[in-house]
Each structure stands twice: as C-alpha cells, then as structure tokens.
C-alpha cells in the first residue's frame, strides 16, 4: 500500500482513492465527494500530535488517523497497546461514609467499573476501577465511616 495514501478510519486501514475529493466550506465544515455522491462533514476535534481527526460525516462519527513510518515502528515494538494497571487495593481518597458497595468477592473489574459510593461533605462520590483485577476482600461495610487512606477493597 502506498505510504502517502495510507489512512486509518475507525482503526481500519484504507488506501485513499483518486475518486474522492474534499471541498472546504470553512475551517470546520466540508463536503466529501466520492464516486459522484456528496457527504456533508464536520471536524469535531483535531489532534495534531497524533495525526488524527474526529469527524462527523452524515451524522456518523469517525476517527481518522494518518499513519506513517513512526506508527509502523511503534506497532512493531508493541508500544501501541494501551497499558492497563493491575489493581492491588482501593484506598479512601477522602474521609467519608460508605453509601453503597457495588462489587462482591470474586468479581472481575475492568477500567471504569463502579466499585462503591462514598459520601463526603454531603456529596456522593462514585469510586470507579482504574485498572483490572478480581475482588479478593471487601474490608468495609455500607454506612461505615472511613478515614483518608484507609484500605476499602483488596484485589487478587
């Protein structure tokens, strides 16, 4: 594949075609014409450091990335895979009262999964997983008052 025309659309490689043409309305809106069909587009975000755009074409959001020699090197070294943190313990980020425990022993967690709710200064804070792990021990109980730094949940 020609390196100059190598693009990633939603993570899939495509070779840019001579049949496609972009007409800019202004710095944000454009019309993409491909095989005599026009599509209206909008740039939602532009990340110059990563050579990527987030665009919306006919109400569909697409991530576009221009790949190059550095991307190939990074992939060959395996550095393009996101590193996921292995959970060990969850400690109270502030003093408060445990409102709800959303996990149970043996449950597998992924990044973003809810672990528990902690009420502090009359506000409920949902604590979510920042990595992967399996719940080994739940040290606290609902309605328990905890201090900052106290271990709340342990993981395998």
Q: Report pTM.
A: 0.51
pLDDT in tens, 18-55: 667 788 899 899 988 877 888 899 999 988 777 788 89
Domains and CATH numbers, the chain: 3-76 (no CATH), 89-155 (2.40.50.100)
Q: How far apart are CA 153 and CA 88, in angstroms?
A: 9
Q: Is the pLDDT of residue 7 over 70?
A: no
Q: Is the pLDDT of residue 99 over 90?
A: yes
């Amino acid at each position: 594949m020609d390196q100059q025309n190598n693009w990633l659309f939603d993570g899939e490689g495509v070779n840019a075609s001579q049949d496609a043409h972009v007409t800019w309305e202004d710095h944000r809106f454009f019309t993409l014409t491909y095989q005599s069909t026009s599509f209206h587009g909008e740039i939602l975000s532009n990340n110059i450091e990563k050579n990527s755009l987030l665009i919306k074409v006919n109400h569909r959001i697409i991530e576009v990335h221009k790949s190059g020699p550095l991307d190939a090197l990074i992939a060959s070294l395996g550095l393009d895979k996101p590193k996921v943190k292995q959970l060990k313990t969850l400690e109270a980020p502030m003093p408060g009262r445990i409102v709800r425990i959303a996990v149970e022993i043996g449950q597998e967690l992924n990044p973003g999964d809810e672990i528990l709710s902690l009420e502090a200064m009359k506000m409920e804070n949902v604590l979510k997983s920042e990595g992967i792990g399996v719940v080994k021990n739940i040290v606290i109980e609902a309605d328990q008052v905890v201090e900052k730094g106290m271990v709340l949940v342990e993981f395998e």
